[in-house]
Amino acid sequence: MLSPSIDRVTYVQSSDFSDLQEPTRALLPVRRARLIHVVRRTGRVAGVVYAVCLAAVAAVIGVTSLTDQAEAAEVRAITWPVAPDHLDNVQPWSDTYGAPRSGGRSHLGVDICGPKMTPLVAAADGEISWLRHSTASGNNLTITDADGWEYHYIHINNDTPGTDDGVNNYDEAFGPGIERGVEVRAGQVVAYLGDSGNAEGTCPHLHFEIEKPDGSNINPTPSVDIAAAAIREGAIDPDLGLTYPSLSSFAADALTTLAGTNPNADEIATFRAEINDTGVAGALEPLVGPDSIAAGIDRLYFATFLRLPDADGYQYWIEQEAGDWNVADISQFFATSDEFVARFGDKDYAALLDQIYRDMFGRAPDSEGRDYWLERLADPDDPVTPGTVLSYFSDGDEAKIVAGTRSELVALTALFEDRMPDANEIAAWQELRESTSFGDAVTDRFLS
């Protein structure tokens, strides 16, 4: 019943994109939006492995409030905090975040056991914001990065090499030139692994914590795992044309940005295998194609607001859909926003339907569809809401046809350039896609 036509596609391409880049703050908790932004930007700037904070784990454990979800699971882009050539010299570490410790405390770090004097390196560019050299209490230091995130290094060495004498020479505890207030670069040696403080009775180890600007900790284990994986696999194959430090970091970015999941090591390995089998574009296609979460969110923004998503909102709602929201829930939420009310608020259902058909499909409603939805909207016993109508429409075949390659470009631009495309870019992509395959278009536009 719904066949593609050039007219419809043309209509969409020539739609009013005047408010293209304007974020709809009403649609997303502001604090959360900033958090995503900070984490992602920092990863890019530092040029290290990165991923974003996610809600998927929160959904699994049944956390329902948006705030709780935002804080439940995060991965911070870091450099592995031990010198990379010592990766095989340390013992395997495990996730002991939250494990009980003496005095009712819980463990806020990850413990990496290894030989004393193993060099410890800065996990990020930043400043040595705190340093303690204390025979009584132990040696530790904190690096604060430009975004206010803190990286804590505890149990730094206090022994003469080869002994457990506790003599605590400064230059056998801290790296060359390291003192409070100095700037360090990611990967720079800042200290040496040891057993100072209350670690004298355990294996010498680095206790490493990641603290957010608001003073709360995240579980550092996934961040440390991904940073170590990047060392193991080495530099990325330049033939792939990806500007990422490792294939794992690209996989983590693609899965977090486009699928809204917090990928574990197996999922990252699977995605890497797909890249090896089908190329970068082949691995990305299911994440950006018409049946992807990302494309669905793009279409829902268009259906509800007749515009592209803003970058933060797009990321946020992809994560929610990967968590415990479905399209209908999200659409319901959109339909309560000020922006939606401003567009549709004073319309009766018939006028609303007419406008939805016109905006989305560039045509008048067919009478069958119009009558069906009018009846359901006015059903005295079990009325559907405009939000429900929008979710049906935005997920339907005609919406997929009309959205065409726009949703692909929105997703790819979000992944590779951390932004939304403009109308000219959408038109150019459309043209490119009419003349070439998805894979060739991705290579041409995004891979160098």
- Residues in contact with Zn ion by CB under 5 A are 109, 111, 207
What's the token pair of residue 100?
């009980």
Q: Which is nearer to Zn ion, 111 or 312 (CB)?
A: 111
Question: Distance between CA atoms of 289 and 347, rounded to whole angstroms?
Answer: 33
Question: Distance between CA atoms of 293 and 275, rounded to whole angstroms?
Answer: 20
Distance in Å, CB of 195 to Zn ion, minimum: 12
Residues in contact with 376: Cβ distance below 8 Å, sequence separation at least 6, in sequence order: 383, 384, 389
Q: Which is nearer to Zn ion, 197 or 404 (CB)?
A: 197
Distance in Å, CB of 82 to Zn ion, minimum: 14
Helical segments of 289-344, H only: 293-305, 311-322, 327-334, 338-344
Distance in Å, CB of 205 to Zn ion, minimum: 7
Q: Which is nearer to Zn ion, 106 or 276 (CB)?
A: 106
Question: Distance between CA atoms of 363 and 11, rounded to whole angstroms?
Answer: 10
Distance in Å, CB of 90 to Zn ion, minimum: 14
Q: Which is nearer to Zn ion, 99 or 182 (CB)?
A: 99
Question: Distance between CA atoms of 344 and 342, rounded to whole angstroms?
Answer: 6
Distance in Å, CB of 216 to Zn ion, minimum: 17
Q: Which residue's structure tokens are 């043309």?
A: 10
Q: Which is nearer to Zn ion, 103 or 176 (CB)?
A: 103
Q: Which is nearer to Zn ion, 155 or 400 (CB)?
A: 155
Residues forming beta bridges with residue 174, ordered by sequence position: 191
At 226, the amino acid letter reads: I
Distance in Å, CB of 308 to Zn ion, minimum: 45
Q: Which is nearer to Zn ion, 109 or 126 (CB)?
A: 109
Q: Which is nearer to Zn ion, 97 or 344 (CB)?
A: 97
Distance in Å, CB of 111 to Zn ion, minimum: 4
Sign of torsion over alpha carbons 416, 420, 425, 431 = positive
Question: Distance between CA atoms of 285 and 156, rounded to whole angstroms?
Answer: 47
Distance in Å, CB of 227 to Zn ion, minimum: 17
Let me know: does 128 contact 184? Beta carbons within 8 Å: yes
Q: Which is nearer to Zn ion, 109 or 421 (CB)?
A: 109
Helical segments of 255-310, H only: 265-288, 293-305
Nearest Cα residue to 316 out of 57, 53, 61: 53
Question: Distance between CA atoms of 87 and 228, rounded to whole angstroms?
Answer: 8
Question: Distance between CA atoms of 193 and 271, rounded to whole angstroms?
Answer: 34
| Residue nearest Zn ion by beta-carbon distance | 207
Q: Which is nearer to Zn ion, 109 or 222 (CB)?
A: 109
Let me know: does 127 contact 184? Beta carbons within 8 Å: yes
At 278, the amino acid letter reads: T
Question: Distance between CA atoms of 44 and 31, rounded to whole angstroms?
Answer: 20
Distance in Å, CB of 377 to Zn ion, minimum: 58
Nearest Cα residue to 358 out of 1, 20, 16: 16
Distance in Å, CB of 207 to Zn ion, minimum: 3
What's the token pair of residue 387?
């939000």
Q: Which residue's structure tokens are 């040595």?
A: 128
